[in-house]
Amino acid sequence: MAGGIRDWTIHRFGLQPIYDRLLNRRVPRAPWYSGDGSAMLALLGIQVMTGAVLAMTYSPAADSAFQSVVYITQEQTLGWFVRGLHYWSAGAVIVMVTFHLFRQILFAGYKSPREGTWMVGVVLFFCVLFLGYSGYLLRWDERSIHGIRVMLHMLVRVPLIGESLVTFAQGGRDLGPQTLTRLYALHVLIVPLFMFSLVGFHLYLAVIRGTITRAEQNQPVHSAEEQKRLYEEEKSSPTGGEWFFPSTIMKTGTMATVVVAATLLLTVTLGPQELYPEANLTDGSMPSEEWWFWWLSGLIAFLPPSIAPWFIVSLPVVVFTLLMALPFLDRSPVRGVRKRPIWAAIVILLVVIILLLTDYRRRSTFAGWPELHPPPVPEGMALPEDAERGRQLFATYGCNSCHAVAGHGRKVAVDLASLQGQLSRDKIREYILQPPVGIAMPGYEGRLDESELVALTEFCHVAQTFPLR
């Protein structure tokens, strides 16, 4: 009886061909790390589920969007968990998709007959980045509004149609309700729909064209025909091949489970991303992008001014074009990481650069900011009256908006304590009045009276001898 129902279900719902062609097939033995794709599929499922729940409460209208996110986070049952999971799985997808992309470059997974799989993957990569960006704009807090303005400022640099692109993107002459609503449509409807069809396509191609195998990495492969022969040989051999179900799925499933578990752990320990004040164009704010874009921000700060503005606009176009063209640029028959040390070096270099830039942005030592408190006097040190007055003036005149003293304050300009007493009083005085040309410091000629100038000079002079921390 039970068997009868089972057979009926399999037949009437057409499950047999799916089982035969998808699960019950021989494939070349997969390494453990090939589970990055399964991990992304699992995360995508989480994104859809949590996103659907969020969309049921979220209000895509500028007047109420922020309050609805506050409600989800603070009032809705388990809302903090759903929002947190949506946030952390978004971060995890970005990490995994980068890992996946670099892995394919490392092993030459884009070579024949998998150029199509690769190109669809590149488009998916950019979809993921766009979702990872548009997601945090919907929170409609200060971080969102300034994130939107950065995008608009990139668009306006597009030659000829820049300004029209901006009015199109923000939905009018000003940032307003339409800006949020169109971002909402893109984030929850247009891009996900497009992406879903592409994910299906990508998986279909991965099934019919396979993924890069060990045999392909061990010897040069000159043509799609040769690849096919190797692939068939390998998957049928008892040592080189395995059953997709359960062997491959076991391995990829393990990795997916680990990644999802890590995401859950981050969600319950750190919770959803902090909400900043509601979107406004009036208050002072120190916005930052989400951590997965810190490297890009660090790069903008790092580049010389002569190329930075153009570089940032053309970077996505250049990267997209290069990635799409990669299978046609790299036509050598060699695959795998061992025989392609240059590619390994490139990938390692890129990863190191991304990590360094991320840290650079995290520290943000390049940004000045008004600092109202004067630098503290080192313990056990008493300042003469003049220097003490100078210490107060150091804050009054915004010196410590850029200069740290013994590690206290902003670190844009030189830390006075690091000068180690090199500068004479005259030199300091001259510097304050009229800094050398090309130094990003305002001259104070005409702003200070003589007694203030003396006091400030005294403080700078003694600050040089403060012990460095």
Partner 1 sequence: MIDRRNWLAALFALGGAAIAGVVGMAAMLSALSPAWRHPRGERWRSAGDTAGFALGKIEPVVVRVGRNDWSRSLDEKTVYVYRRSDDQFVVYSRNCTDLSCPLVFDAGSECFFCPCHGAIFGKEGQPMAGPPKRPLYRYASRVREGVLEIDLDSLPPMT
Amino acid at 20: D
CB of 373 to partner 1, least distance (A): 12
Q: How far apart are the first and last CA of the chain?
A: 80
Strand partners, 242: 27
CB of 365 to partner 1, least distance (A): 8
CB of 184 to partner 1, least distance (A): 14
The residue (of 142 and 458) whose beta carbon lies closer to partner 1 is 142
Query: CB-hemisphere CA count at 13 Å for 381?
Result: 13
389-428 footprint of partner 1 as x/- string (CB under 8 A): ------xxxxx-xx---------x----------------
Question: Is 312 among the residues that bind partner 1 (CB under 8 A)?
Answer: yes
Distance CA 212, CA 33 (A): 12
Cβ 80 vs Cβ 57: under 8 Å: no
282-301 footprint of partner 1 as x/- string (CB under 8 A): xxxxxxx--------x--xx
Question: Is 53 among the residues that bind partner 1 (CB under 8 A)?
Answer: no
Which one of 9, 24, 74, 164 is in contact with partner 1 (CB under 8 A)? 164
Cβ 372 vs Cβ 393: under 8 Å: no
Which one of 143, 146, 235, 391 is in contact with partner 1 (CB under 8 A)? 146
Question: Is 145 among the residues that bind partner 1 (CB under 8 A)?
Answer: yes
The residue (of 207 and 441) whose beta carbon lies closer to partner 1 is 441
Helix (H, G, I), strand (E, B) or coil at 166: helix
SS (HEC) of 335-396:
CCCCCCHHHHHHHHHHHHHHHHHHHHHHHCCCCCCCCCCCCCCCCCCCCCHHHHHHHHHHHH
Which one of 42, 54, 128, 175 is in contact with partner 1 (CB under 8 A)? 175
Query: Considering CB under 8 A, how many residues would be counted as binding partner 1?
Result: 64
Distance CA 215, CA 237 (A): 11
- Encoding tokens for residue 212? 């890069």
Helix (H, G, I), strand (E, B) or coil at 319: helix
- Encoding tokens for residue 183? 């971002």
Task: Output the CA–CA distances (angstroms, integers) from residue 439 to 138, 220, 302, 406, 417, in the order listed.
Answer: 40, 56, 17, 21, 19
CB of 442 to partner 1, least distance (A): 6
The residue (of 55 and 150) whose beta carbon lies closer to partner 1 is 150
Question: Is 173 among the residues that bind partner 1 (CB under 8 A)?
Answer: yes
Which one of 57, 59, 76, 167 is in contact with partner 1 (CB under 8 A)? 167
C-alpha angle with apex 468: 464 to 469, nearest 5 degrees? Answer: 150
Strand partners, 408: 405
Residue 308: count of CB within 10 angstroms of its CB = 13
Question: Exposed, middle or buried, 404 (CB in 10 Å: 0-12/13-18/19+)?
Answer: buried
Which of the residues 177 through 196 are near partner 1 (CB under 8 A)? 177-178
The residue (of 323 and 405) whose beta carbon lies closer to partner 1 is 405
Question: Is 69 among the residues that bind partner 1 (CB under 8 A)?
Answer: no
Helix (H, G, I), strand (E, B) or coil at 241: strand
Question: Is 436 among the residues that bind partner 1 (CB under 8 A)?
Answer: no
Which of the residues 233 through 292 are near partner 1 (CB under 8 A)? 279-288
Which one of 220, 421, 442, 467 is in contact with partner 1 (CB under 8 A)? 442
* Residues in contact with partner 1 by the rule CB under 8 A: 61-63, 145-146, 149-150, 152-156, 163-168, 170-178, 279-288, 297, 300-301, 303, 305-306, 308-309, 312, 364, 366-370, 395-399, 401-402, 412, 440-442, 447
